[in-house]
Amino acid sequence: MQADPPSMRHGHFQALDATGFHTVRYVEHGAPDAARTVVCVHGLTRNGRDFDPLAGKLAEAGFRVVCPDIVGRGRSDRLPDPAGYNYGQYQQDMAALIAHLRLDKVDWVGTSMGGLIGMLLAARPGTPIARLVVNDIGPFLPKAALVRLAQYVGLDPLLPDRAAGEAYLRQVFAPFGLMSDADWQAMAAHSLVAADGGFRLAYDPAIRQGLLAAQDKDIDLWPVWDAIRVPTLLLWGRHSDLLTADLVAAMQQRGPKPTLVALEDVGHAPPLRAPDQIRPVVEWLSQP
C-alpha cells in the first residue's frame, strides 16, 4: 500500500439511512482554516482517493479539499439494505458532510455519479454549492451507456493478487485514457481489499441492483439542469459514451450555461490525474 501524502488527514461522520446510522469516511487536504473548501465526489464504483493528485494541487493553490467515500464505497460503511443506494441517500449524506464541516458554502467537483449528486444539490433552493465542476456527466443518460456500466458493476471478481487486480482495473477503466503506470498502481492501491485469500474491489457489489433497475430506459434530468444557477464548469472526455457532443452543445445553451473544457484522447470519465486535466479545474476554481 502506498503511503498517504504527509498533509492528508482522515475524518468521518455519522449519517442516517432507513435502517439506522452508517459511517461515511473522507480524506482532507490543505489548511483546515482555508477561505474556500472544495468537496470532490467520485464516480459509481470509485472512491475519494481518486482525487489525490487534484486535491494536492488545489491545496497548493490555497483550498481546503474534502474527498468522501460515498456510502458503500472505499472505507465508508456498506448499507444492510441495497435499496438505500440511491441519489436521495447520497444527497442526504453529502448535506450531512457539509454540516459536519460547519460550512455555509462549498465548491464542488463531481466525476460521473459525483457530478450527478452535485447537480441535484446545486439545483435545490438555498444550495450550499457556490461553484460546480461537472466531470463528464450530463442531465441525460442514454440507455446504451447504462447497459455498458451494468456489464462490470457489481460482478465482484475474486482476484488472486494485486497484479491481477491492477490488470482488471486497466481493462475495466480503459475509457479513462492513457495513464502512467504509477497512476494505475495508485488506483489499484485504493481500489482493492484483501478478502477470501485474494483481493476484491473496494465497493459493495449490491450497488449493482440500482443500476440494473435503471438500465432499461434513458434517464432524463433536464429539469434539474435547468434549475442550476451557480457558476459551472463542464469537463468533457471527447470519446465519452455518457456525454455526447450533442448533449454537450445542448447543456451549453440551458441551465447554468457552463464553461466547457474538452479533453482529448479520453472517454468516460477523465480521471483528473494528468496536468492538462488538473490545470483547468484549479484555474477555474481559483477565479475571484
Q: Is residue 175 part of a domain?
A: no
- Percent pLDDT > 90 in the chain is 86
**Is 194 contained in some domain?**
no
Whether 52 and 183 have beta carbons less than 8 Å apart is answered as no
Residue listed under C-alpha cell 447554468:
256
Q: What separation, in Å, do the N-terminal and C-terminal C-alpha atoms of the chain show?
A: 38
Number of domains observed in the structure of the chain: 1
- CA–CA separation, 137 vs 237, rounded Å? 10
Tracing cell 465482484 back to the chain, one arrives at: 156
Query: How does residue 213 score in pLDDT terms, banded at 50, 70 and 90?
Result: confident
Q: Is the pLDDT of residue 50 over 80?
A: yes
Cell of 28: 482532507
Res. 126: pLDDT tops 80: yes
What's 191's DSSP letter? T
pLDDT surpasses 80 at 203: yes
The percentage of the chain sitting over the pLDDT mark of 70, rounded to a whole number, equals: 99
Name the residue range of residue 252's domain: 9-154+203-285
- Spatial distance between the Cα atoms of 283 and 256, rounded to a whole number of angstroms: 19
Q: Mean pLDDT across the stretch 92-121?
A: 98
Q: Does the CA dihedral 82-83-87-89 come out positive or negative?
A: negative
Q: Is residue 53 part of a domain?
A: yes
Residue 236 lies in a domain: yes
pLDDT band at 2 (very low <50, low <70, confident <90, very high): low
Measure the CA–CA gap between 42 and 8, rounded to whole angstroms. 17
Q: Does residue 191 carry a pLDDT above 70?
A: yes
Smallest CA-to-CA distance from 66 within 10, 104, 122 is with: 10
The verdict on residue 30 lying in a domain is: yes
pLDDT band at 178, cuts 50/70/90?
A: confident
Strand-pairing partners, residue 112, are: none
CA-closest candidate to residue 110, choices 150, 54, 190: 54
Residue 5 grid cell: 501524502
The answer on pLDDT for 63 being more than 90 is yes
Does the structure show a pLDDT above 60 at 1?
no
What amino acid is encoded at 79 in this protein? L
**Nearest CA to 78 among 22, 26, 27?**
22
Any alpha helices (H) in 204-244, and if so which ranges?
Answer: 208-214, 222-227
The answer to whether residues 239 and 174 touch, using CB atoms and an 8 Å cutoff, is no
- For the chain, what is the mean pLDDT? 94
Q: Which residue type sits at 16?
A: L
Alpha helices in the chain (DSSP H): 52-60, 87-100, 113-122, 143-150, 162-172, 181-189, 208-214, 222-227, 245-253, 275-285
Q: What is the pLDDT of residue 104?
A: 96
Q: Quick one: which of 142, 87, 132, 126 has its CA closest to 110? A: 132
Judge whether residue 206 has pLDDT over 90: yes
Is 267 part of a structural domain of the chain? yes
Domain assignment of residue 58, yes or no: yes
Is pLDDT at 149 greater than 90 in this prediction? no
Residue 174 lies in a domain: no
Q: Write the CATH number for 71.
A: 3.40.50.1820
Query: Which position has the higher pLDDT, 11 or 218?
Result: 11
Residues 3-49 pLDDT 10s: 787 779 999 999 999 999 999 999 999 999 999 999 999 999 999 99
Indicate the pTM of the whole model. Answer: 0.96
